[in-house]
Amino acid sequence: MYPATEKRFIRANRITILVLFLVITAGGIVRSTGSGMGCPDWPKCFNRIIPPTDVSQLPEGYEKQYIEGRAKKNQRFARIVEFFGYPDMADKIRHDETVLQHEEFNAAKTWTEYINRLVGVVVGFCLLFSAVFSFTYSKSKPSIVWWSVLNVFVVIIQAWLGSIVVSTNLMPWIITVHMLLALVIVAISIYTFYLATTMRNTSILINHRFDLLKGIAIFLLLLTVVQVVYGTGVRETIDHLNDQGVTRNEWISRLGPSYDLHRTLAYISLGTTIVLFFLVKNKFSSLTLQSKYAWIVLILVGIQMISGIVLARFNVPAIAQTTHLVIASLFFGALYYLMLLMTKLKR
């Protein structure tokens, strides 16, 4: 059905999507284990290609060297933030001394962060190969080429933003932007996969407009993005409580309104997903992709709710934090693809 060159692009694109979710998983592990500053510099780790395993291998005077380097990078970043109209935020970056705090060496955290970076490099190459292979569509479907090339530039921005995450000592709003940009990269890769597969296999698409179903899916996508933002805020509060020495069993009770809203939106998301599931099952055969992805979305939102309950009832265990983040990303990806599958076939 597909020419060999198109098969190559579709295969590369599918692998890219899988690796993207691995990157998000690695990032979740880094976040939940507090390993974000395991490497104080970027792109190397303690100025080494292979990071140290013992404190004796650390460069002499590295604390001062890296803090000075981060300070200069933060000054440059502050000018960019100010240019885009956020002078107060830029001023905070310039004068907040906490972003320059040094963290003691921990081999486990260093290697956790380093592996996260390695997976990020792999996804960069995957996106590059996908962009190169996409040129087979330069005449038949040029939009695939444009989106694939754009995604390479977006991942470069993401890599730069990762260095800013390190230089600002994990400033919360930058972590949020970093996460949202990861979802943008995932969405573009899924979109190019959708365009490539439906160009010749039109049986995937539907013959009638289902604006209500597509509208519900779009609403859920936006709600998921809002949930990611609020979830990052909840995580920021937990980090703050931890720094204050508050015991883990008190974290949930002291989270405040942001957690209450996050939990309320979760129930809205669950209810809306159930409605979407039954509407899709009513309109489509159980053998269709639409029906299969409706099941996937429903299962994912169920796992997401369970992980949220575990976080609330068992004092925020690290494994549940990672699961919560990864399932949210998978839910976003599956829901986005389901929304695309609601597109009416053009005759």
Phi then psi for residue 48, to 5 deg, are: -130, 145
Domains and CATH numbers, the chain: 1-200 (no CATH), 207-347 (1.20.120)
Q: For every residue of the chain, which 3-state class applies, written as one string?
A: CCCHHHHHHHHHHHHHHHHHHHHHHHHHHHHHCCCCCCCCCCCCECCECCCCCCHHHCCCCHHHHHHHHHHHHHHHHHHHHHHCCCHHHHHHHHHCHHHHCCCCCCHHHHHHHHHHHHHHHHHHHHHHHHHHHHHHHCCCCHHHHHHHHHHHHHHHHHHHHHHHHHHCCCCHHHHHHHHHHHHHHHHHHHHHHHHHHHHHCHHHCECCCCHHHHHHHHHHHHHHHHHHHHHHHHHHHHHHHHHCCCCHHHCHHHCCHHHHHHHHHHHHHHHHHHHHHHHHHHHCCCCCHHHHHHHHHHHHHHHHHHHHHHHHHCCCCHHHHHHHHHHHHHHHHHHHHHHHCCCECCC
Residues in the chain where the model's pLDDT stays below 50: none
What is the predicted pLDDT for the residue at 346?
Answer: 59
Give tens-digit pLDDT for 188-199.
Answer: 999 999 999 988
Tell if the pTM clears 0.75, that is, is over it. yes
Tens digits of residue pLDDT in 277-314: 999 998 888 888 889 999 999 999 999 999 989 988 88
Per-residue model confidence (pLDDT) at position 207: 65
pLDDT of residue 100: 64
Q: Which two tokens stand for residue 100?
A: 């320059």
The whole-number pLDDT of residue 344 equals: 64
Q: Quick one: pLDDT at residue 189? A: 96
In the prediction, which pLDDT does 92 show?
76
Quote the pLDDT of residue 186: 95
